[in-house]
Amino acid sequence: MIKIFKTFGGYVEFNEPQRGCWINIISPTEREIQLLIDEFRLPSDVINDILDQDERPRIEFDDTWTLIILRVPVKIENNGVPFHTIPLGVFVTNDFTLTLCLQDNEVLPFSQPSPFRDQYQQITDSINFILRLFLRSGNLYMKYLKQINQSTSIIEQDLEKSIKNKELNKLLKMEKCLVYFITSIKSNDIVLAKLRNSKKITTEINEDLLEDAFIENKQALDMAQIYSDIQSGMMDAFASVISNNLNDVMKKLTLISIILMIPTLIASIFGMNVPNFMENSLWALPLILIGSVLFSSFGVLLFKKRKWF
């Protein structure tokens, strides 16, 4: 899917690229990839790098173009891990700026491809546009981190009473999300630092915008690391909780077995095919039943007094 805009504000959409335009591409088809190679003159290896799920963030310069890849968070439907990160590539030339991503995302949503309309006057060039992508990506990381924290709190409540591994597996998947986030944010921060120190950037960088991007990434990284440390300790603790819950269930089952063994023992003694003093008594069966109930009740009271039940 390809959309072409006159400026980074995304007010005017074109059918054909023009000088200074912004091209936004999401989930390109084979035909669209070939169009990028033939008409927009994108190197095929650059396209493959951006569309690689595991591509790391980096900045690359050439005589006629600049490539910046950052990783942005996305939600995953019908998957055990609710969040992941994917590469978002920004290809800058003298004629156009092109953004390419292998799936739709909230940093540059294709259905609403201009999240910067309200800041249109502040976006003057491609470099500051890229800084806004980093800033928006940092905000999105923190938004998803809060959702992860809320989901973790719900899982904690279930874990306190659980004897199964289902909730522990959910917690492990949340931990995997945090690992993805931490590695991606660290890599984005390195790219930001290279962008600030690069001597090949001739455009004047908005220092306030750059500082905001650094702050947002730093906050997201600190938040992700704190949540990760908490969850690591939490998983160890709740693994012990699950084990203790299972031991408690086994203890109660053992006590119930002991209580049931008392009337079984009495019935076995008086049911043997040998003479005893009650074989001719009419009160034998009622007395045996009453004795079984009394001894079983005594056992229950004894266990309760010792707080085993």
Task: Judge whether 46 and 31 are in contact, CB under 8 Å.
Answer: no
Query: Please, how many CA atoms are within 13 Å of residue 150, restricted to the half-sphere of its CB?
Result: 7
pLDDT digits (tens, 9 = 90+) for 124-152: 678 888 888 898 899 999 999 998 888 88
Helix or strand run (H / E) with residue 2: strand 2-5
d(CA 256, CA 3): 70
| Domain co-membership, 32 together with 148 | yes
Task: Give the pLDDT band of residue 118 (cuts 50, 70, 90).
Answer: low
Looking at 244, 266, 290, the residue that finishes a domain is: 244
Looking at 244, 259, 293, the residue that finishes a domain is: 244
- The rounded percent of the chain whose pLDDT value lies above 90 is 11
Task: Give the pLDDT band of residue 295 (cuts 50, 70, 90).
Answer: confident
264 is written with which tokens? 């079984």
**Residue 163 clears pLDDT 60, i.e. is over it:** no
Look at the chain and report how many structural domains it folds into.
2
What domain range is 289 assigned to? Answer: 245-305
pLDDT digits (tens, 9 = 90+) for 16-26: 777 778 888 88
Looking at 211, 226, 244, the residue that finishes a domain is: 244
User: What is the pLDDT at residue 198?
Assistant: 76
| Domain co-membership, 143 together with 86 | yes
| Domain co-membership, 209 together with 263 | no
